[in-house]
Structure 1
Amino acid sequence: MVFTQPSKTMASSSLTDAQLIETFVEGFVQGQPVLLSNANLRTEPLFDSMQLIDNREGLISTANMQKVPIWAKVCTRSMYWSLLHDVLRRQNFFPLAKAETKDFYSYRYCLLSADYEIHCTTAKELWRICWGRGQTVRSSIPLDLMVWGQGPALEKESWHPLRGMDCDQGFLKIKILGGFIQVESQDLVVWARKISEHRFSGAREEGQLRAGMRGYLRLRN
Structure 2
Amino acid sequence: MKDTLDNTTLIQKFLQGEDSLLANRELHIEKAREETQLLTNQGILLAKARLKGSNPYVVVRLQSDYWQVVHQLALQANYLPFGMDKARFEGATFVQYDYHSVPAGYEIHCQEAAALWKTWWVNHRQLELMDMLLLCDKRWAPVNKMVCETGTIYMKTWQGERVFAVSDTIVWLDRNTQKRRRRIQVPKHHAPGKTSPSPYPYHSGEDISEKPAPVDESANPVVPDNLRRVVRAGKNKLLIQTALGPILIEGENLSCSIGRRTAKKS
TM-score w.r.t. length of structure 2: 0.52
Query: How far apart are the structure 1 equivalents of 2:150 and 2:43?
Result: 34
* Equivalent position of 1:164 in the other structure: 145
SS at match of 2:64: coil
SS at match of 1:63: strand
Query: Does residue 1:120 correspond to 2:109, yes or no?
Result: yes
Q: CA deviation at 1:129?
A: 0.1
SS at match of 1:162: strand
Structure 2 vs 1, CA of residues 147 and 72 (structure 1 numbering), >3 Å: closer, same or farther?
same
The CA deviation string for residues 137-180 of structure 1, in whole angstroms up to 9 with x for no partner, is xx648343111122xxxxxx211111233446745443323221
Query: How far apart are the structure 1 equivalents of 2:170 and 2:63?
Result: 13
Count residues in correspondence.
171
Query: Does residue 1:149 correspond to 2:136, yes or no?
Result: yes
Structure 2 vs 1, CA of residues 36 and 172 (structure 1 numbering), >3 Å: closer, same or farther?
farther
2:5 to 6, 15, 27: 15
Percent of paired sites with the same residue:
21
Q: Check conservation: 2:55, 2:98, Cα contact below 8 A.
A: no
Q: Check conservation: 2:57, 2:79, Cα contact below 8 A.
A: no
Gapped runs of 5+ residues in structure 2?
180-243, 247-266
* Equivalent position of 2:48 in the other structure: 62
SS at match of 2:175: strand
Q: CA deviation at 1:90?
A: 4.2
Pairwise CA RMSD: 3.4
Query: How far apart are the structure 2 equivalents of 1:12 and 1:77?
Result: 28
* Equivalent position of 1:49 in the other structure: 35
Query: How far apart are the structure 2 equivalents of 1:174 and 1:73?
Result: 29
Query: How far apart are the structure 2 equivalents of 1:47 and 1:59?
Result: 15
Q: Which entry has the higher C-alpha Rg, 1 or 2? A: 2
SS at match of 1:128: helix
Query: How far apart are the structure 2 equivalents of 1:129 and 1:13?
Result: 42
Q: Check conservation: 1:42, 1:55, Cα contact below 8 A.
A: yes
In the alignment, residue 164 of structure 2 is paired with which amino acid?
Q
* Equivalent position of 1:131 in the other structure: 121
Structure 2 vs 1, CA of residues 53 and 184 (structure 1 numbering), >3 Å: closer, same or farther?
farther
Query: How far apart are the structure 1 equivalents of 2:118 and 2:126?
Result: 10
Q: CA deviation at 1:120?
A: 0.8
Query: How far apart are the structure 1 equivalents of 2:171 and 2:39?
Result: 25
Higher relative contact order (CA 8 A, sep 6+): 1
Query: How far apart are the structure 2 equivalents of 1:51 and 1:84?
Result: 13
Query: How far apart are the structure 1 equivalents of 2:59 and 2:83?
Result: 9
* Equivalent position of 1:193 in the other structure: 175
SS at match of 1:67: coil
Gapped runs of 5+ residues in structure 1?
1-10, 151-156, 197-218
Q: Check conservation: 2:75, 2:108, Cα contact below 8 A.
A: no
SS at match of 1:84: helix
* Equivalent position of 2:97 in the other structure: 106
Q: CA deviation at 1:121?
A: 3.8
